[in-house]
Amino acid sequence: MNYGIISCIPTLILIIGVLKTKRMTESLFISSLVAAILTYKQHFLTGYVELIYESLANESFQLLLIVAASFGGMIVLLEKSGAMFGFRKMMERHCSSAKKTLLLTSLLGAVVFIDDYLNALAVSISMKGISDHYKIPREHLAYTVNCMGACICVLIPVSSWSAFAMGSLVDYGLSASDYYAAIPYMFYPFCTIIICVLLACGKFPLIGPMKKAYERVEKGGSVVPDSSAEFSEEVLEAQDRTGSIMDFLIPMICLFVGMLAFENNIVTGILLALAAMFGLYCLKDHMPVKEFTKNFTDGIIDMVPLLFNILLAFMIQAANGKMGFSDFIISAFTRNINPKFLPVMAFLIVGGTAFLAASFWALIVITFPIFIPLAQSMGIEVSLVIAAIMSGVALGSQACLYSDAIFMVASGTEVSNEVQFNSVLPYILIGAISAACLFLVAGLTL
């Protein structure tokens, strides 16, 4: 069923609520309740329960649940074992200034390309202590981590994102080679990464809230924004600082190798990483088995508020799907498209829909059947349209203040969703406008 413009109400309530009240959980709950009322009407109570079960049964949420909970446990184990401190000491040898710290954070984000969840948590947890030492506002750290998440994942053809997209191309007679051909045209990720690196080097101006964040720190304020007070300002460090850098690197290598060996299955990689950690920490008498289990479960508990918010977001997404929200947005902007404008329209429509609906992998499934056949029938270079769709998805993931990526970055950097959104919005808009211009030029010339 298509509810038309009415389907936009829950998303608008959520965005306005978060920006006005600065309260994410309450805004998500109210939005999800309104979505249930619109979808199920007088049966909204039982409908709300149905949305809960449907979201819990969603394979994407199940994957996120396993990954986030496991990463939470792994992070505590890395901290308590001293492994994180050993890694930090190695990084500190190369981070002799704020500029080098930010550049190394970007480089580390590019190296951890397998999955944006791992990228967000591993990079932010690893680098926040060093960035604090050089008085870098957490807003800038969050921006750097966020930039190198989905943008890197769509550019690297062996990441979880690109693997999913390549699998979806088979239905249209396309293959992985078509995805490879699209990578040079993924203008938004390239623009975003360039802006991120230039900002780290001091070659791009500080704008809006980001500039105010630096002014706050220069005046003696905290590197953690005041409106993120619900997060702890304590830099988590191991009490036992005898850990080796290998205690950090070996589990990470096992994670990467496990994923690559089992067709980008991150859960398999996590299991191998946990097995390595058990061997390194318990069998070497760094940590008793009882303490290992407690630390791991403590990390899972730390992730519960994050996962609850994400569950509410998935419920809104499920209700939006029942109301035809994505179909309404896409159909409203795809009528009578000039072939030359198809790439830029695909980028803007997918980016806008992803931003509003907080739907990313699902949006790939929705938009491929719309834009790829259009490109094939119009004689437009298909790889250019694939690039536009993936650029739009990356834009939505980076910009949506209630996306799972933003939640992950918030957990790792201790910068709340709305503060991240306000800080990065000017740079996202610059990147999006630049990419749109490039897609327009490419559509006119190719």
Per-position DSSP letters for 260-312, written without gaps between them: HHTTT-HHHHHHHHHHHHHHHHTTTTSS-HHHHHHHHHHHHHHTHHHHHHHHH
Q: What is the pLDDT of residue 95?
A: 80
Average pLDDT over residues 91-103: 83
pLDDT above 90 for 445: no
Which of 138-152, 194-208, 248-262, 264-278 has maximum average pLDDT?
A: 194-208
> Is 50 exceeded by the pLDDT of residue 231?
no
Measured distance CA(226)–CA(22) in Å, rounded: 12
Give the helix ranges, DSSP H, for 400-416. 404-413
Q: How far is CA 390 from CA 179, 253, 368, 402, in A?
A: 10, 28, 10, 19
Tokens coding 306: 């994050």
Most confident listed range (176-180, 419-423, 427-431): 427-431
What's the pLDDT score for residue 52?
95
CA dist 229 and 410 (Å) reads: 12
Using the predicted structure, report yes or no on whether residue 84 has a pLDDT greater than 50: yes
Token match 């005041």: residue? 226
Q: How confident is the model at residue 359 (pLDDT cuts 50, 70, 90)?
A: low
Per the CB < 8 A criterion, the answer to whether 332 and 361 are in contact is: no
pLDDT at 187: 96
pLDDT band at 368 (very low <50, low <70, confident <90, very high): confident
Amino acid at position 150, single letter: A
Higher pLDDT, 189 or 116: 189
Calculate what percentage of the chain has a pLDDT beyond 70: 91
- Of 405, 428, 406, the C-alpha closest to 417 is 406
Identity of residue 113: F
Q: pLDDT tier at 149 (50, 70, 90 boundaries)?
A: confident
66, 267 contact by CB (below 8 A): yes
Q: Are the beta carbons of 258 and 273 closer than 8 angstroms?
A: yes
338 phi and psi angles, rounded to 5 deg: -70, 130
- Model pLDDT for residues 378-411, shown as the tens digit of each residue: 888 899 999 999 999 999 888 887 787 788 888 8
Spatial contact of 428 and 399, defined as CB atoms under 8 Å apart: yes
* pLDDT band at 25; cut points 50, 70, 90: confident
**Could you state, in order of their start, the residue ranges of all structural domains in the chain?**
60-159+187-302
What band does 236 get if pLDDT is binned at 50, 70 and 90?
A: very low
Give the CA-trace dihedral at 395, 401, 407, 413, to 10 degrees. 90
Burial class of residue 302 (count of CB atoms within 10 Å of its CB; 0-12, 13-18, 19+) = middle
Q: pLDDT value at position 327? A: 77
Distance of CA 354 to the CA centre of its chain: 12
- Residue-averaged pLDDT of the chain: 84
| d(C-alpha 26, C-alpha 267), whole Å | 31
Q: Does the pLDDT value for residue 2 go beyond 90? A: no
The answer to whether 338 and 51 have CB atoms below 8 angstroms apart is no
Residue 266, pLDDT above cutoff 80: no
pTM over the 0.85 mark: no
Is residue 244 a contact partner of residue 251, using CB atoms and an 8 Å limit? no
Is residue 280 within 8 Å of 274, Cβ to Cβ?
no
Q: How many CA atoms lie within 13 A of 325 on its CB side?
A: 28
Decide: 91 and 83 in contact? Cβ < 8 Å.
Answer: no
CA distances (Å), 324 to each of 151, 179, 184, 321, in order?
27, 28, 33, 5
pLDDT tens readout for residues 125-148? 778 888 888 899 999 999 999 888
Q: 240-264 pLDDT, tens per residue?
A: 445 677 888 888 888 888 877 887 6
Structure tokens at 162: 């690109």
